[in-house]
Amino acid sequence: LPKRWIVERTLGWLNRCRRLAKDFENLAATALAFLKLASIRLMLRKLCNPT
């Protein structure tokens, strides 16, 4: 159950990105690239602004 909470929380953070909220991409590679960019943005935000 604790691992499930971590996954759900992370998916919730990623769904805040407007581009990932709906599936606009035609190619899986493009969708994966935007997912990676959103993850990098999330990690940078957490590292640079620890509150």
The whole-angstrom separation of Cα 50 and Cα 46 is 6
**pLDDT tens per residue across span 40-50:** 888 888 888 86
Tell me the pTM: 0.66
Contact between 14 and 38 under an 8 Å Cβ cutoff? The reply is yes
Return phi, psi of residue 17, to 5°.
-70, 125
Q: What is the pLDDT of residue 1?
A: 65
Residue 14 corresponds to which amino acid?
A: L
Q: Which domain holds residue 26?
A: 2-48
Query: Total domain count for the chain?
Result: 1
**pLDDT tens per residue across span 17-32:** 777 766 777 777 887 8
Q: Which tokens go with 41?
A: 């943005």
Q: Which tokens go with 34?
A: 């935007």
Query: CA nearest 14: which of 35, 32, 33?
Result: 35
